[in-house]
Chains A and B, each alone.
Chain A
Amino acid sequence: MSSAAAMTVSPREAKRYEEKDFGFWLYLMSDAVIFACLFATYLVMAGNAAGGPTPKDVFSLERAAAETALLLLSSTTFGIAAVSLWAGDRSKVLLWLAITLLLGAGFIALEFGEFSGMIAEGAGPDRSGFLSAFFTLVGTHGLHVSVGLVWILVMIGQVFAKGLTAPVASRLMRLGLFWHFLDIIWVVIFSVVYLPGLL
């Protein structure tokens, strides 16, 4: 953290941020185990359609691909926001965070459409074990993304109100970890849930 003048920190502060980053990594590990359990459950239950719709009937490759594109793109735009943070360029940070927010919101909108469409067709989470597992796994990821969106909004507010101070920068870095983590989870969802379901 050298570039912006506001970001010079005392050794004590630096140590605090290091602790927070490490703690956040541990949280991500723990959250990864949550997803691992959800994936395992999905794999166990993917065949339990109970006479109802099967993966082939309810998944759409186009939509899953569009969701993937939005989320991957949002990881990239977050990356650019992070680079602007190092450069100390506040307005660019704001701009790229806003774009990330929009892309993420687009992802959630698509997912919302997918879920409500399925429920309307009678393929809701209470239809079969397979659908319970599907909605819960993908929905948990969606819930995380929604929390991420609120977090991005809060950080936009903080950058706006406080500037690129050291605490704000440190929070942005952890938000980045969270956002990229969700991206990785999505890639696994895409390859474990959607692809085998459609192929």
Chain B
Amino acid sequence: MDIFGRLTIESLPFYSAIAASGAAVTVLGGLSVVAVITYFGAWRLVLFQWLSSVDHKKIGIMYIMLALVMLVRGFVDAAMMRSQQAIALNSDGYLPPGHFDQIFSSHGTIMIFFMAMPFLSGLINLIMPQQIGSRDVAFPFMNAVSLWLSMAGAALVLISLVIGKFSTAGWTAYPPYSGLEFTPGVGVDYWIWAVLISGFGSTMSGINFLVTIIKCRAPGMTMFRLPLFTWTVFITSVLIIFAFPALTVACAMLALDRTLGMHFFTNGMGGNMMNYINLFWLWGHPEVYILILPAFGVFSEVVAVFSQKRLFGYISLVLATMAIGLLSFTVWLHHFFTMGSSARVNSFFGTMTTIIAVPTGVKVFDWLLTMYRGRIIFKPPMLFTIGFLVTFVIGGLSGVLLALPPIDYLMHNTTFLIAHFHNMIIPGVLFGYLAGYMFWFPKAFGFKLNEKWGTRAFWCWIVGFYVAFMPLYVLGLLGMPRRMEHYEIAAWQPHLIVAAFGAFIILLGMICLGVQLWVSVRDRIEALDLTGDPWNGRSLEWATSSPAAPYNFAVLPKVECRDAWWDMKQRGVAYRRPEKYEDIVMPKNTFAGAVIGAAGFAFGFAMIWWIWWLALLSLAVIGAAIIVRASNDDDEFVMPASEVKAIEDARFPQLAKAPKNAMEDEPGFAGQPAPEAAA
């Protein structure tokens, strides 16, 4: 047996200029990160403050960094597909079919698993513990493990560009095509192990968040006083815990088929490929709600704060979230109406799918009624929210169309479907996360993001979205299948050229996001958030300083009603100095999480390339790390009251310096409640 398994020198991408330059960019990207850290002499900081951190806020920031990097990578893939299709009428374009197939597969995989999921975990980590008045998540160490397993999965996808090839089987990897018989290389294995390893991380996150919300709330923070973002996290966590196992099982079986020659999904020998498709969507449909519910949570927070009004219909929003969570497990078959179920089965799932639109509609009305008679301040997060409301409704309507089996028979597998789900996922999921990113950025770093560039980014994204995706509805009606590398129908090309132009406008939006970050860091002194409450916020995360102290709250807040922070400001008890501080028990930093992540990466790599000794070795490392960690009773330290006092004392002069209300100067500021001056 070869010690490198099936890895050979031919696995390097010298066979194609495009593939080689993709590899070069990936390698140079990695090297430049190393170079930058070395240049700034920041290795100690990176290792001891970040890599080994178990602080939920730092973990959240690292998740979001991963998400933004992967957003760029996923967008590059999208731009390549758009330009290929714009020119590939009666010609091969510039991408050979095998390469084009890798690109749509990696685009979908990256956007769902390594952009959206990390973005979501990042925002939740950053904000949810502060919203419920907690000092951390319930299991800080497990949180680090989740992060590093996500990193390991993302690293596998990235490295597939350099060593070997990525899957050509789409982001869903349907058998029998994804089986060994039809796709023998390593591509599908890259997909499987990247998804499996990060999936374990997501499952652990789900457990962690749910325990945190149920067990770690501040005194008085009853369930029906939870901010809506936290409510959506609650339901999303339940969905993660119950849906991800189906994905794990489907991927593991596909891996067994491919690695040990089993017959779960093969064509002959008693395989049953429909079983894969059922299991995959049993996870896959709840997954779209896993992604979008927290975005709904962000919109709910943003719309109330920037309408300067109480959220309309809190209870109905909570109930609608619950209903969506429950119903999301009853609709998975709408992803394969055309695959041979009886008319009765199809009509059941079609009906359930249209029903799920009802609670979603309730939410839209709640947000609209929150804005109604509010004094709206058009900050970038609010712009993304309004853009979402308008655009999402269109996507929802096309979804209701696709929910009808007879229509789906016509539209299935066309670009109409591509238009539909991008119409949900870009305004719904991505705009929500971007709104959250701009809304909560000051909480993470202590200064606001530049609003001019944020506004520009918004306009490019929304206009670009319409120009890029509305033509796909038309193309779908003209009968264009998805995943086409080239085509012979001249009538399609004009629409594809418009769509490519739309992708170009989105590119400008991406650039605006980058410039926004750059300009904001450069001019941070002018945009400092001294109060910790830059938007005149309503929920408890605005009670902490920006950035929040390691322990978040020196003294746990006492909650008396919904919109707890708003209420404290109104009662004049905000920013009160406590009579005395107490010692705070904190989790110690540890490298065990990063070690498990690194070993997870090595394990995945070994399984992909059939390097069995490395697989065993990395499993042994993971096992050893867990055993050592689980035998360690000394994983916490006490931060003495004097140190807490020193940190807090440094905050009060800042508060005194700050303007009374950070939103005062906004046109349309509705006044009250003014924060008390520091005592």
Across the interface, do A23 and B270 meet the contact criterion of CB distance under 8 Å? no
| Interfacial residues of chain A within 124-140, with CB under 8 A of chain B in the complex | 125-133, 135-136
Quote the shortest CB–CB distance from A38 to chain B (angstroms): 6
Is there a chain B Cβ closer than 8 Å to A58's Cβ?
A: no
Interface residues on B, range: 35 or more
What chain A residues lie within 8 Å of B216 (beta carbons)? 19
Across the interface, do A22 and B264 meet the contact criterion of CB distance under 8 Å? no
What chain A residues lie within 8 Å of B76 (beta carbons)? none
Across the interface, do B271 and A48 meet the contact criterion of CB distance under 8 Å? yes
What chain A residues lie within 8 Å of B162 (beta carbons)? none
What chain B residues lie within 8 Å of A45 (beta carbons)? 264, 270, 272, 275
Across the interface, do B275 and A41 meet the contact criterion of CB distance under 8 Å? yes
Are A154 and B630 also in contact (CB < 8 A) when A23-B208, A23-B211 are? Answer: yes
Per-residue interface assignment for chain A, residues 95 to 136, with 1 indicating a CB less than 8 Å from any chain B CB and 0 otherwise: 000000000000000000000000000000111111111011
Is there a chain A Cβ closer than 8 Å to B68's Cβ?
A: no
Across the interface, do B253 and A136 meet the contact criterion of CB distance under 8 Å? yes
Across the interface, do A132 and B275 meet the contact criterion of CB distance under 8 Å? no
What chain B residues lie within 8 Å of A167 (beta carbons)? 633
Q: Among the listed A26, A29, A50, which residue makes an inter-chain contact with B269, where contact means beta carbons less than 8 Å apart?
A: A50
CA A12 to CA B582, docked complex, whole Å: 14
What chain B residues lie within 8 Å of A158 (beta carbons)? 631
CA A27 to CA B248, docked complex, whole Å: 14
Across the interface, do B585 and A136 meet the contact criterion of CB distance under 8 Å? no
Per-residue interface assignment for chain A, residues 23 to 36, with 1 indicating a CB less than 8 Å from any chain B CB and 0 otherwise: 10011011101101
Across the interface, do B256 and A125 meet the contact criterion of CB distance under 8 Å? yes
Across the interface, do A49 and B270 meet the contact criterion of CB distance under 8 Å? yes
Across the interface, do A27 and B215 meet the contact criterion of CB distance under 8 Å? no
CA A34 to CA B243, docked complex, whole Å: 9
Per-residue interface assignment for chain B, residues 63 to 96, with 1 indicating a CB less than 8 Å from any chain A CB and 0 otherwise: 0000000000000000000000000000000000
Quote the shortest CB–CB distance from A16 to chain B (angstroms): 9
Is there a chain B Cβ closer than 8 Å to A37's Cβ?
A: yes
Is there a chain A Cβ closer than 8 Å to B268's Cβ?
A: yes
What chain A residues lie within 8 Å of B263 (beta carbons)? 48, 50, 126-129, 131-132
Across the interface, do A37 and B246 meet the contact criterion of CB distance under 8 Å? yes
Chain B residue at minimum C-beta to C-beta distance from A26: B207
Across the interface, do B215 and A22 meet the contact criterion of CB distance under 8 Å? yes
Are A44 and B242 also in contact (CB < 8 A) when A125-B256, A126-B260 are? Answer: no
Is there a chain B Cβ closer than 8 Å to A57's Cβ?
A: no
Is there a chain A Cβ closer than 8 Å to B586's Cβ?
A: no
Most buried by B among A30, A126, A165: A30
Across the interface, do A26 and B249 meet the contact criterion of CB distance under 8 Å? no
Across the interface, do A33 and B242 meet the contact criterion of CB distance under 8 Å? yes
Across the interface, do A29 and B260 meet the contact criterion of CB distance under 8 Å? no
Across the interface, do B260 and A125 meet the contact criterion of CB distance under 8 Å? yes
Is there a chain B Cβ closer than 8 Å to A15's Cβ?
A: yes
Q: Among the listed B245, B279, B585, B631, which residue makes an inter-chain contact with A30, where contact means beta carbons less than 8 Å apart?
A: B245
Most buried by A among B248, B250, B262: B262
What chain B residues lie within 8 Å of A165 (beta carbons)? 633
Are A126 and B264 also in contact (CB < 8 A) when A26-B210, A37-B245, A37-B249 are? Answer: no
CA A126 to CA B138, docked complex, whole Å: 43
Is there a chain A Cβ closer than 8 Å to B504's Cβ?
A: no
CA A157 to CA B248, docked complex, whole Å: 32
What chain B residues lie within 8 Å of A34 (beta carbons)? 245, 248-249
Across the interface, do B275 and A44 meet the contact criterion of CB distance under 8 Å? yes
Is there a chain B Cβ closer than 8 Å to A150's Cβ?
A: yes
Q: Among the listed A15, A33, A44, A128, which residue makes an inter-chain contact with B246, where contact means beta carbons less than 8 Å apart?
A: A33
| Interfacial residues of chain B within 433-448, with CB under 8 A of chain A in the complex | none
Is there a chain A Cβ closer than 8 Å to B244's Cβ?
A: yes
Are A129 and B245 also in contact (CB < 8 A) when A22-B211, A136-B256, A150-B623 are? Answer: no
What chain B residues lie within 8 Å of A128 (beta carbons)? 263, 269-270
Across the interface, do B270 and A38 meet the contact criterion of CB distance under 8 Å? no
Q: Among the listed A29, A36, A150, which residue makes an inter-chain contact with B241, where contact means beta carbons less than 8 Å apart?
A: A29
How many residues from A make CB contacts under 8 Å with B? 42
Across the interface, do A50 and B253 meet the contact criterion of CB distance under 8 Å? no
Is there a chain B Cβ closer than 8 Å to A18's Cβ?
A: yes
CA A126 to CA B270, docked complex, whole Å: 10
Most buried by A among B210, B257, B275: B275
Across the interface, do A15 and B264 meet the contact criterion of CB distance under 8 Å? no
Across the interface, do A136 and B262 meet the contact criterion of CB distance under 8 Å? yes
CA A78 to CA B537, docked complex, whole Å: 53
Across the interface, do A129 and B211 meet the contact criterion of CB distance under 8 Å? no
Is there a chain A Cβ closer than 8 Å to B139's Cβ?
A: yes
Per-residue interface assignment for chain B, residues 608 to 637, with 1 indicating a CB less than 8 Å from any chain A CB and 0 otherwise: 000000000000000100010011010000
Are A129 and B270 also in contact (CB < 8 A) when A19-B211, A33-B242 are? Answer: yes
What chain A residues lie within 8 Å of B210 (beta carbons)? 26
Across the interface, do A18 and B215 meet the contact criterion of CB distance under 8 Å? yes
Quote the shortest CB–CB distance from B205 to chain A (angstroms): 12
Per-residue interface assignment for chain A, residues 154 to 172, with 1 indicating a CB less than 8 Å from any chain B CB and 0 otherwise: 1001100010010100010
Across the interface, do A132 and B244 meet the contact criterion of CB distance under 8 Å? no
Across the interface, do A130 and B270 meet the contact criterion of CB distance under 8 Å? yes
Across the interface, do B270 and A41 meet the contact criterion of CB distance under 8 Å? no
CA A56 to CA B34, docked complex, whole Å: 60
Per-residue interface assignment for chain B, residues 137 to 179, with 1 indicating a CB less than 8 Å from any chain A CB and 0 otherwise: 0110000000000000000000000000000000000000000
Across the interface, do B633 and A162 meet the contact criterion of CB distance under 8 Å? yes
CA A135 to CA B263, docked complex, whole Å: 11
| Interfacial residues of chain B within 223-272, with CB under 8 A of chain A in the complex | 241-242, 244-246, 248-250, 252-253, 256-257, 260-264, 266, 268-272
Is there a chain A Cβ closer than 8 Å to B390's Cβ?
A: no
Chain A residue at minimum C-beta to C-beta distance from B636: A16
Quote the shortest CB–CB distance from B468 to chain A (angstroms): 37
CA A121 to CA B234, docked complex, whole Å: 50
Report 23 cross-chain contacts, Cβ distance below 8 Å, ordered by A residue. Answer: A12-B585, A18-B215, A22-B214, A27-B207, A29-B241, A29-B242, A30-B241, A30-B242, A30-B244, A37-B250, A37-B282, A38-B249, A41-B275, A45-B275, A125-B260, A128-B263, A129-B264, A129-B270, A129-B272, A136-B264, A150-B623, A154-B630, A154-B631
Q: A19-B138, A29-B241 are in contact. List 13 more A-B contacts (CB 8 A).
A: A19-B216, A23-B139, A23-B207, A37-B246, A44-B272, A45-B272, A48-B263, A48-B271, A49-B270, A129-B272, A132-B263, A154-B627, A154-B630
